[in-house]
Structure 1
Amino acid sequence: MNRKPLLAWGGLAVAALLLAGSGAELLPQAHLAWRLLRAAEDPPALARLRLAPMATPERVAGEIDTALAAGDEDLARSFLALADERGLPVDSARRARIEAMSDGAPLRMARAFADGALSGQADSGIGLAGAFAADLTGLGDLRDLAREGGHLVRDEPYDPLLLGLASVGLVATAATYAGGLGAVARGGATVLKVAHKSGRLSRSLTASLGRMVRESVNPGAVRVAVAAAGRLDLATARNAARSGLRTGAIAELTALGGQAYTLQARMGARGVMQVLSVARAPSEIGHAVRLAEGLGPATRAVLKLLDRAALVIGAVLMELVRTVWLALGWCWGLTLFCRRLGLAIGRLIWRRPAQDKRKPPQGRAATRVSVTGARPPAKVPVGAPTSR
């Protein structure tokens, strides 16, 4: 019995089992990885893909309770918007508690506005409005410039980022009064200052902004501005700050401030602080703007669930690429398997006819004659004389 066909079919059966087992686990992962890679530059699509296993009714209910306990009405409403968008149930008691948070708002708003104007720190839209009002008059920037610049003049440790943002703010204030063109930059500088003072800027983003400030600010001109700030001479301080800023480098800070201001308008003060706490590079703030444009009021909830993964693919990029390559290797293995299977089926259907061993091969006699060189004897007629 010929065992070769049995071995061949056994090998094909083992290969089929291996391909089926590995494909059942690998192919869904590869499909998701491919979709994530395609959505790398589309933050809303990226967030929706990653949100599916995270946004469960239990998780959303727990996050709403946490936001209510922290007094964060905007975040609670964001989770409510996310639940409504995805069709997740939220009981009426939680909805009533969210609506009840609006009670007593006027007193809280007045207190938050005053705190923002005096200290430059805020965790609400009203507090940020107070900080913006102080900066728009120039007093907030003069306060920060005098404090940090005084440390610089006395060769004491100072905050270069806060000093640079105050200088940018003075110039943006002048542009705002001149024609309104600096309103966005003015608001953005305030947002960045408030986030930095409140410790909401991520470490990586703080380092990036610090490098931008060092490239854009002239320390000599800042010393002049500091001296003017100490005398509350707003015009001199503003002119010195303008002369001490390098136009090319300051454009990046202005653009970043504009994006932060846009986020504040779309997500509120706590929303933009949430973004600045997870973003690690200025480019990720631009991704957050696109995320807010695509997701609307549910943006804060998505950021709370996914953190930085809502903005960028992140450290899993190489893992996603590896998964896609493994899937391509699996497809190549499937191609080879199909080829071998087709050959095996073809050999099974179209067998070669067996040769008849009893039938002598043709040409044997001719071969013998040609080899020996002998001829068959000639036939002699009957009665013919024979020679002796």
Structure 2
Amino acid sequence: MYRFFAAAGFLLAFAGAAHWVVPAGRHAFALVSAQDDAARLADLQLDGVLTPERTAVEIDAALEENDGELAASFIELADARGVPVTAERRARVALANAPGASFARGAGSFGHGFLTGQGEDLAGLAGATAGDLTVWGDVRDLGRQAANWARGEPVDHFMVNLAGIGIVATGATYAAFGAPLTFRAGISVLKGARRAGVVGGRFAGNITAALRGGSKAQLAALVGDLGTAGSKAGTRATFAGLRHVDDAAGAARLSALAQAKGGKTLAIFKTLGRGALFVTEAMAKLAFWVMAGVLNLFGLIASFNAMVVAMLRPMWKIRRRRPLLLPG
């Protein structure tokens, strides 16, 4: 009987392991299935990650750094996912984003964005875009690169190209009475991201290649996606996403996520990082859980078969011991 009990023990062990293997495999498969839906992918990635404890820590950290925008983004994300937030934290976030404080911060961000072209929130993006719409921003950037060239310092040709496109886009914006404003905003986002150091070399190379290859439609779509992301989710969230974007497809994912999540996008990137847009890690998880599932299924079948054999073996022995009855 020891074989029977050993097989039954293995069967129970594999059946118990299925309690973890099956849900984990199903979750990994759902991640891979949602790889083309940025909003759905982010929701799946947040499951089990955005806990009340994690939310409280992130909000407190943002408030300690006087970052009302990030704290408000976490409040919005928590409300959308049904994660409880204490009334005391809500009050502190509301105070940090009170109209007086927001106006003062917004005015400063607008002026900073107008003069330097750098903006990390909607007010800063508005200032940078306003500067670019007056051609001041593009002329300023060209002047900086010209000064670098005159001093023998490295010239950022990517920024020169963007400034040149921006001047043309500004003229088109006035000619079309503001129709291509999203494209103009996208140029401002790209320039600000370049200054902030969040545009990777591969992404910049792809844009430069599109410029040289004459792929105007692709370039327009890419820049338009960034302009849309900036207007829907804010410049900071767009910058956070651009750290993980390498091509036009990534920019489209970023735009789709920003349109679906709006003000929650900044908190999503703070929580998930690259996982908000891509499923590279999920592919490895899926491969692991598929192998684990196959082994678990094989173990269940083998254990069940061994248990049945051990249970029927005594019957075979009894039949073999019966004497044969000869006729006559």
Aligning the two structures, in what range does the TM-score lie when normalised by the shorter sequence?
Answer: 0.7 to 0.9
For residue 175 of structure 1, what is the aligned residue in structure 2?
A: 172
Q: 2:290 aligns with which of 324, 331, 337?
A: 324
1:215 and 2:209 are equivalent in the alignment: yes
Pick closer, same or farther for the CA change 1:214–1:289 going to 2, 3 Å.
closer
- Report the CA distance between 1:267 and its aligned residue: 1.0
Q: 1:305 aligns with which of 259, 264, 271?
A: 271
For residue 89 of structure 1, what is the aligned residue in structure 2?
A: 84
Residues 231-277 of structure 1: CA distance to partner in whole angstroms, max 9, x if unpaired?
Answer: xxxxxxxxxxxxxx6531x4333222111111111112222222223
Query: Which of 1 and 2 has higher RCO (CA within 8 Å, sep 6+)?
Result: 2
Percent sequence identity is 34
Structure 2, unaligned stretches of length 5 or more?
A: none
Q: How does 1:126-275 map to 2 (within 5 A)?
A: 126-149=123-146, 151-152=148-149, 156-179=153-176, 180-199=178-197, 201=198, 205-217=199-211, 246-248=213-215, 250-275=216-241
1:34 and 2:29 are equivalent in the alignment: yes
What is the CA–CA distance in structure 1 between the aligned matches of 2:140 and 2:73, rounded to whole Å? 35
Q: Counting helix residues as a fraction of each chain, which structure ranks higher? A: 2
User: If the length of structure 1 is used for normalisation, what is the TM-score?
Assistant: 0.73
Residues 39-58 of structure 1: CA distance to partner in whole angstroms, max 9, x if unpaired?
Answer: 22222222222223222222
Pick closer, same or farther for the CA change 1:246–1:147 going to 2, 3 Å.
farther
Pick closer, same or farther for the CA change 1:340–1:107 going to 2, 3 Å.
closer
Report the aligned-residue RMSD: 2.9
User: If the length of structure 2 is used for normalisation, what is the TM-score?
Assistant: 0.85
SS class of match (1:90) = coil
- Select the structure of larger CA radius of gyration: 1
1:131 maps to a residue whose letter is: A
Partners of 1:164 and 1:213 within 8 A in 2: no
- Report the CA distance between 1:187 and its aligned residue: 1.0
- Report the CA distance between 1:293 and its aligned residue: 3.4
1:108 and 2:105 are equivalent in the alignment: yes
Partners of 1:149 and 1:163 within 8 A in 2: no
Partners of 2:15 and 2:300 within 8 A in 1: no
Q: Tell me the number of residue pairs that the alignment of Structure 1 and Structure 2 aligns.
A: 324
